[in-house]
Amino acid sequence: MEIVQPQEQVDFTHNKQLLNRYRYVEYELLRILAGWLPATAQMELKLAIGRLLWEDAQHVQHLYQRLREIQTPAFRDPGDEALKRLMAEAINAPSERDLLGGLCRVIKPALTRAYRWHIEQTFANPDAPTLYAFKHILLDEEQHVGWAAAALADHPAGAWERYIADLLAAAGYITGRATRASAPGAPACRVPFAAPKKAARDARFTPADHGAGPPPTKDAATERLREFESYSQEMLAAETVALVLYLSPGMPWEFVLNSARHCYDETRHCQLGIEWLARHGLDYTQVPQNTRIYAWRSQYDPATQYCLLTMGNEQHVFPYRRQRLTAYREAGDRLSAAFLSYDMADERQHVAYGRKWLPQLMAQHDIDMPVDQFVEETIQRWEAEYRSGKLPLHQAA
């Protein structure tokens, strides 16, 4: 009997190499988006970035689950300096719109083409789990590309996107199979990225450079308004989680996955406040943005930032939230009660993340003390600096 030569181009060994390249690109995309979240000024783009980075984390998880079935360890260096240069350079964009143009108008369209080519070239039955992963990843990636086409319609592609496209070509595109172009030089518009110590807001907002907020009032309507105005500022929590994620590249993949969800949750809580205000005829851009909270947290190491947020703000908010939820239910305010209920479900998970990951974050950032002692001292700082409303900046932020 003759030997049949298959038409499929992706064999088992090549499949592993390609899946690892895709995994690497998706992972770096989410880290880039996390780094840029605090630096992005336009709120609509911030909200979108929270979703994009979480969905990219789901893509990495799909690929991780498949890779660990066919190789050990599941995560490996792609072994391609040109691909690594592409992803290392993609963060150094001159503006938030240029960044998103490079990611969503150059790299993500190339990813979708690679996934579709791979679907046609792998052995469909033996490699069915990979096809399942691609099917779900493509739903998101094609939506991301479509979103960017609309969101960046007034932002023409310029020198930065051409640079990213040239770097992609120098890497043989996403699969590495194409004929490689010469590596390009960096354009004059390139701006080396630095993790932001201040949270950016666009010109519609008024900054509120003051303490952590007014005390509760006995007037129910005023207290309700304050609460949902506060929700509309929860981008501050998302920005802190994004910064911690970006500054902790040595943490396990599960931490990154959990942190991507945590960050996305906080952007949704911000959107929750925006939506509540809109349903009451109010403009969220008229709410002063207390970005000093982010600046205060960002002056500390990532483990302390994470502890201040999860063991400070999130763990201590439950008595107040339960009180407010009871009041909304008794008043028949179904909208406010529903929004609070979903928020509280998320916050319980965030506190669990804090308890789970603080020991490893401490080790990652060279904090050598018992975890209980670290948490206790950090909560004392939170009480003295945040709850007091002082928010002191001990160094230039």
Q: Which long-range contacts (CB under 8 A, 24 or more apart) does 134-142 make?
A: 136/58, 136/62, 137/26, 137/58, 137/59, 137/62, 137/63, 138/112, 140/55, 140/56, 140/58, 140/59, 141/59, 141/108, 141/111, 141/112, 141/115, 142/112
Mean per-residue pLDDT over the chain, rounded: 96
Q: How confident is the model at residue 397 (pLDDT cuts 50, 70, 90)?
A: very low
Residues 317-349 pLDDT 10s: 999 999 999 999 999 999 999 999 999 999 999
Mark 216-242 as b/e (b = at least 16 C-beta within 10 Å): eeeeeeeebbbbbbbbbbbbbbbbbbb
At 7-18, the pLDDT tens digits run 889 999 999 999
33-86, pLDDT tens digit by residue?
999 999 999 999 999 999 999 999 999 999 999 999 999 999 999 999 999 999
Listed by start position, the domains of the chain span 12-170, 220-387
Classify domain 220-387 by CATH number: 1.20.1260.10
**How many whole angstroms separate alpha carbon 185 and alpha carbon 167?**
9
Nearest CA among 114, 93, 108, 174 for reference residue 147: 108
Output the pTM of the full model. 0.96
User: Taking 80 as the threshold, does the pLDDT of residue 218 lie above it?
Assistant: no
The 10s digit of each residue's pLDDT in 86-119 is 999 999 999 999 999 999 999 999 999 999 999 9
pLDDT of residue 42: 98
What pLDDT is recorded for position 141? 98
Domain 12-170, CATH class in plain words: mainly alpha
Model confidence pLDDT, tens digit, residues 173-217: 999 999 999 999 999 999 999 999 999 999 999 988 666 655 566
For residue range 358-391, list pLDDT tens digits in order.
Answer: 999 999 999 999 999 999 999 999 999 999 999 9
Token readout for 239 is 């920005």
For residue 289, report the phi and psi dihedrals to the nearest 5 degrees.
Answer: -100, 115
